[in-house]
Amino acid sequence: MKIKLFAIAALGAFATACASTPVEDTAPVRDTRPVDPPIEDTRPIETGPMAGSPDHFVATAGDRVFYGLDRHDLSDEARATLRRQAAWLASYPGTRILVAGNCDERGTREYNLALGARRASAARTYLISQGVDPSRISTTSYGKERPSCSQSSETCWAVNRNATTTLLSGYTN
State how far the Cα of 47 lies from the Cα of 168, in Å rounded to an integer.
Answer: 24
The whole-number pLDDT of residue 170 equals: 79
Continuous segment of H or E residues that includes residue 77: helix 76-91
Q: What is the dihedral of CA 63, 137, 171, 142, to 10 degrees?
A: 50
Position 128 in a domain: yes
Position 18 in a domain: no
Number of domains in the chain: 1
What is the domain extent for residue 163? Answer: 54-169
| Residuewise pLDDT in 10s, the chain (173 residues) | 556 655 565 556 555 655 555 556 666 667 677 766 676 766 666 678 899 999 999 999 999 999 999 999 999 999 999 999 999 999 999 999 999 999 999 999 999 999 999 999 999 999 999 999 999 999 999 999 999 999 999 999 999 999 999 999 877 76
The whole-number pLDDT of residue 172 equals: 74
The whole-number pLDDT of residue 164 equals: 99
Vertex 116: Cα angle to 110 and 119 (nearest 5): 145
Position 6 in a domain: no
- The whole model's pTM is what? 0.72
The whole-number pLDDT of residue 142 equals: 98
Continuous segment of H or E residues that includes residue 65: strand 64-66
Position 146 in a domain: yes
Position 36 in a domain: no
Neighbouring CB atoms inside 10 A of 52's CB total 18
Of residues 141, 135, 79, the one with CA closest to residue 115: 141
Quick check: 160 and 149 in contact, CB under 8 A? Answer: yes
> What CATH number should be reported for the domain holding residue 122?
3.30.1330.60
The whole-number pLDDT of residue 49 equals: 87
Position 3 in a domain: no
Local structure of 96: helix, strand or coil:
strand
Position 142 in a domain: yes
Please state the separation of Cα 113 from the chain's center in Å.
35
Residue type, 148: S
Position 154 in a domain: yes
